[in-house]
Amino acid sequence: MSLKDRITEDMKAAMRAKEAERLSTIRMLMAAMKQREVDERIVLDDAAIVAIVDKLIKQRKDSITAFRQGGREDLATKEEAEAAVLAAYLPVRMSAEEVEAEVAKLVAALGATGPGDMGKVMGAAKAQLGGKAEMALVSAAVKQALAK
């Protein structure tokens, strides 16, 4: 079953169970997927859907931070619930140690030597680790590897 089919089935299940918050989050995800399909005239594969989910989760995390700074714990809690629903559609993430090992392999393979090669290594890392690891973690590992 593709990720898109799974999301559709989850939406139907949320409708049947009358889970309003979960249903609205899944509908928001489906709207973002449909928007990208229409804008780019493509059919999304699982990797593209994971990228959309990643982006939506990042938006939720940014909103949580802003709401907490503004003293709006109620809105922060709502955003956390949405992020939890979205996180169910992400593949299992790599640990920090696994990311560091993969980045070390990439740096060695590309012959990168210093901070000037950050863009080259990040481009290769995004292609290889996109969807498997959180990109902020990858970025930190690349910076650390190139600083040596």
The region of weakest confidence among 40-44, 89-93, 129-133 is 129-133
> d(Cα 66, Cα 37) in Å, to the nearest integer?
30
pLDDT class for 17, splitting at 50, 70, 90?
very high
Q: Which pLDDT belongs to residue 93? A: 84
Local structure of residue 128 (DSSP, 8 states): H
Q: Is the pLDDT of residue 148 over 80?
A: no
Average pLDDT over residues 34-61: 93
Q: Which pLDDT belongs to residue 83? A: 96
Q: Which pLDDT belongs to residue 47? A: 83
For the chain, the straight-line distance linking the first and the last C-alpha, in angstroms and rounded, comes to 44
Share of the chain above pLDDT 70, in %: 99
In order of their start, the domains of the chain are 3-87 (1.10.1510.10), 96-147 (1.10.10.410)
